[in-house]
Amino acid sequence: MPHNVTLPGKSGQRITGREIFSFDRAALKTLGFYVPGKTATVNDPAFTGARFPHAIVAHELTHQSLMINTTFGLFTHLINALRERGFASDDVFQTCHEVQWTVQEAVATYAEMAVVAREAPAKLVGEINAHRRVKMVP
């Protein structure tokens, strides 16, 4: 995970360093998300109960990196832009998204667990087991 990632301070506290993700207090169940062309987002751990927020940041930034830096990510962006302009169908975009979803989640989850292993090695097995119980949806 990049060293310039910092968790937000409490309300009214000044945050130093560069912020590269945002928090959304409205989401109570989703730990984080990335929407192509937008900022990787981690929902507030005070509401979601995320035990390792830095690991969620790594997970979402990995999605962002894969979408920006891989041929398949670029292709997905292109298909989405064409879809938004009426030159490609929703089905084409959906197929493109579904085909890459498994690889995206595998790589992002690996990055997430690597942060847990670094921050709290004794809790890694528990986090892996907890992750297996979560229903993942594309």
Parent domain of 93: 51-133
What number of other Cβ atoms are within 10 A of residue 83's Cβ? 17
Residues 6+ apart with CB under 8 A from 31: 42, 43, 48, 50, 56, 59
34 in a domain, yes or no? no
User: Residue ranges of the alpha helices (H) in 2-136?
Assistant: 45-48, 53-69, 71-84, 90-119, 124-133
Does some domain include residue 62? Answer: yes
- Whole-structure pTM value: 0.72
Q: What is the full per-residue pLDDT of the chain (138 aa) written as tens digits?
A: 444 454 444 445 554 555 455 554 455 678 888 887 788 888 878 778 889 999 999 999 999 999 889 998 888 889 988 999 999 999 998 888 888 888 899 999 999 999 999 999 999 999 998 887 765 555
Number of domains in the chain: 1
CA distance 21 to 17: 12
